[in-house]
Amino acid sequence: MNRIRLLPEQVANQIAAGEVVERPASVVKELVENALDAQAARITVEIQAGGRSLVRVTDDGVGMSRDDALLCLERHATSKIQRAEDLAAIATMGFRGEALPSIASVSRFTLTTRERDEPSPEGTQIIINGGKIMEVKAAGSAPGTSVEVRQLFFNLPARRKFLRTEETEAAHIQHYLTLAALAFPEVAFTYQKDGRVVWQLPAVKSGPESAARLTALRERFRALLGEVKLVEVEASAPFAMEAAEPDATFEQSSIHHSPSSVRLWGLIGAPGVSRATREDQHVFVNRRPVENRGINFALLEGYHTALMKGRYPVGCLFLEIDPAAVDVNIHPAKREVKFHREADVRRFVAQAVREALLEFHAGPPSEPGVQHPTQNLRHPAFPTSPVITMPGTEKTPEPAELPYFTPPLPPRPAMFPTKPEQSPLKMGFAATAPAPPAEPHASRITHHGQTPKDPTPQSPSAAPVPLLNVPLRLVGVIGKLYVVLESDRGLVLLDQHAAHERILFEQMLERLERSARSPSQKLLLPETIELSPRDAQFLREQLTVLTRLGVGLSEFGERTFLLDGLPPFVKVSDSRRFVLDLVDELKAAGREVNTVRLGEHTVAKTVCRHAVKANDPLAGRELEQLVEDLRRCAMPYTCPHGRPTLIEMNYRELEKKFGRTQ
């Protein structure tokens, strides 16, 4: 008797359902993806009992004929791919043809559809119970498709009992619909729960232009997640990859380089906007909501020193890349993706986020057509990633080219007429050049007691003006720590210790960065460190970087290294732990790191000791110079530890607190 036999089709569909259909949210995801692939302009999702009793998804897409409706219920029947080669460049949301037969095998399933171009009002309705077709009949239907899924897992009680409460399952459904609505703002979404409309989102006019897409995304983001201060991200870079060109027998006959580009656009939270979890980080690859740890890490890396420890950025980012450069078929539910060049994509995302924040801090150009001051900006606090090139074609820079230096930024609106003398706040670190005299209109001082003018209202689409780009007037100091300032927008509080930390941090990094090689102090007794084979191989490739950091490490055996020098500001009690920490930081930051990137935490601790403290009295001129020095920083709104340096309360907030407005 044969021990190996073919499974019945119904059993095979239920096994597939175990991978594709985890919970009611999985059903909603698959059906909404089909609706989006069918070019739907309106999608309605209705659920009852958290999706256990009912999931109904209705769209106005292209619809199906009777034959197509029957064929779509067969396993691996799809209109989205035809050849095996198509799997290497998937451009649709769905592609496997497993969703509908899998869902139908574990529910009471009804499919009603009618082709969009069909003049007759007659459509097709198919009723299936547990994978068995019960009835196929003609039915009146609007153009498009409606799929009704009742009593999910009714024939699999073991699966049904593992479902969570109705509220939990409904929350999963709403989370996915939020992602779908963000990805497709031009599609109208209606979500009904237990007969009640939760939201009804109209379609937002969009287009291929960047401004139109960002405006549509901002409007949809506001409708779903509320009013959040956001910064626009827009970046692109050439991206070339190796591609296989198959012959008639689908064997790799040649390798050619496929030139393309990678683009990142979307919205991220402004400095000060963060969450304790990654819950509000929404990442899309070619409009597909995905989970990718590399991109999540790149987003966090882009906020470098602009977030407190334990806080995470808020954002909605869209990565557009050649479909052949990303594999969306590695997860049964298509939640995760894998890039063929993961490190390059991660560096590109981090750099795009970093430059968007720098542009926000610098503010918009003062005149149309004038080059933005942050274009091609390189700052030691924000190391620059290399241009993405094909493997083996990277240009190795000479040591003298490795450090990046920030050119002085154009003068921002002055708080007071400044004198060229140096402030006593420099504390012995490298001083920045004195600011040039401000223009007359920017240096006017509002006299104490004068009624401030109402700020000029900005259109919703106008870029926000950074706080340090508007004139500020010194009012006083409270608690011997918080400096009170006034702007034409309201009240501003400055933490003198945090502000001075940021100033000294960037000055010290700039001083180290100007030198092609950081200073190193020889140890009295060199120490040997033995590492694992993997760490030893990785460290061997990074010895040049560490030497530029002032860390004296050399090979002393197959897995042994000799540590004989350290930067002057580094004190080490455990040499092996220090080297292991360096290896971990190098791995986390990527192979292309700034020459002082690994020592920044030590620099931050150093400047914290030197910065002015609470209860340190500062004269008016010193406070003025503090603000002027802060204006010249690349990231002035947070200290090196991510704490805010400035807090603003506009007149609208003040009036609300005093009950003048509701």
What DSSP line would sit under 260-283, residue for residue? Answer: EEEEEEEEEEPTT-EESSSTTEEE
> pLDDT exceeding 90 applies to what percent of the chain?
31
Convert the pLDDT of each residue in 130-171 to its tens digit. 989 999 999 999 999 999 999 999 998 888 988 999 999 999
**φ and ψ at 648, to 5 degrees?**
-115, 140
pLDDT band at 387 (very low <50, low <70, confident <90, very high): very low
pLDDT band at 3 (very low <50, low <70, confident <90, very high): confident
pLDDT at 362: 74
- What does R_g of the chain's alpha carbons equal in angstroms? 30
Could you give the CA distance from residue 503 to residue 635 in angstroms, rounded to a whole number? 9
- The alpha carbon torsion through 175, 177, 179, 181 (nearest 10 deg) reads -150
Token pair for 641: 């530890």
pLDDT at 464: 60
Q: Is 202 exposed, middle or buried (0-12, 13-18, 19+ CB in 10 A)?
A: middle
Token pair for 494: 């400055």
Convert the pLDDT of each residue in 285-314 to its tens digit. 999 898 888 898 889 888 888 888 788 999
Could you give the CA distance from residue 334 to residue 325 in angstroms, rounded to a whole number? 16
Could you give the CA distance from residue 73 to residue 9 in angstroms, rounded to a whole number? 12
Q: Report residue 269 CA to chain centroid gap.
A: 9
Could you give the CA distance from residue 115 to residue 419 in angstroms, rounded to a whole number? 76
Q: Residue 397 pLDDT more than 80?
A: no
**φ and ψ at 361, to 5 degrees?**
-65, -35
pLDDT band at 110 (very low <50, low <70, confident <90, very high): very high
Convert the pLDDT of each residue in 491-531 to its tens digit. 999 999 889 888 888 887 777 667 656 677 888 888 898 88
CA distances from 477 to 492, 550, 615 (A): 11, 41, 10
Q: Residue 87 pLDDT more than 70?
A: no
pLDDT at 589: 61
CB neighbours (10 Å) of residue 560? 12
